[in-house]
Amino acid sequence: MTDFDTYERDLWAGRADVYARGFARLTAHSVGPLLDAARVGAGSRVLDLGTGPGIVAAQAVRRGARVSAVDADPLMAETAARGVPEADVRVAVLPALPHEDETFDAVVGNFVINHVGDPVAALAELRRVLRPGGRVALTCWTMPGSGVLALVRDAMEEVGVAWPDDVPLSPFMTYGRPDAFAALVGGAFREARAEVLDWDFTFEPDEWWRDGAMARVGSNAVVLLRQDPPTIARVKEVYDRRLTGYAVGDGRVSVPAHAILAHGTR
Encode 126-138: b = buried (16+ Cβ within 10 Å), e = exposed.
bbbbbeeebbbbb
Residue 12 is predicted with a pLDDT of 87
3-state DSSP assignment of residue 206: helix
Helix H or strand E encompassing 241: helix 229-243
At 80 the pLDDT is 95
Alpha-carbon gap, residue 4 to 116, rounded angstroms: 7
Element (H, E) at 198: strand 190-203
Instruction: Report the SS3 class of residue 15.
Output: coil
Exposed, middle or buried: residue 233 (CB in 10 Å: 0-12, 13-18, 19+)?
A: exposed
The per-residue pLDDT for range 21-76, each reduced to its tens digit, is 889 999 999 999 999 999 999 999 999 999 999 999 999 999 999 999 999 999 99
Q: What was the pLDDT predicted at 15?
A: 83
Residue 16 confidence (pLDDT)? 85
How far is C-alpha 157 from the chain's CA centre? 23
3-class SS of residue 227: coil
Distant-in-sequence, close-in-space partners of 223: CB < 8 Å, separation ≥ 6: 156, 161, 163, 164, 167
Helix 178-186 and helix 119-129, axial crossing angle in degrees, nearest 10: 50
**CATH number of this structure's domain 3-265, picked from the four choices 3.90.550.10, 3.90.76.10, 3.40.50.150, 2.60.120.370:** 3.40.50.150
Q: In this predicted structure, what is the pLDDT of residue 20?
A: 86
- Give the other-Cβ count within 10 Å of 229's Cβ: 7
What residue ranges do the domains of the chain occupy? 3-265
What pLDDT score does 70 carry? 98
Could you read off the pLDDT tens digit of each residue along the chain, which spans 266 residues?
688 988 998 888 888 888 888 899 999 999 999 999 999 999 999 999 999 999 999 999 999 999 999 999 999 999 999 999 999 999 999 999 999 999 999 999 999 999 999 999 999 999 999 999 999 999 999 988 889 999 999 999 999 999 999 999 888 889 999 999 999 999 999 999 999 999 999 999 999 999 888 988 889 999 999 999 999 999 999 999 999 999 999 999 999 999 999 999 99
Contact 195, 263 (CB under 8 A): no
Question: What number of CA atoms fall less than 13 Å from residue 254's CA on the CB side?
Answer: 6
Separation of alpha carbons 258 and 139, rounded Å: 11
Spell 174-210 as b/e; 16+ CB within 10 A means b: ebbebebbbebbbebbeebebeebeeebebebeebbe
Per-residue confidence (pLDDT) for residue 212, from 0 to 100: 85
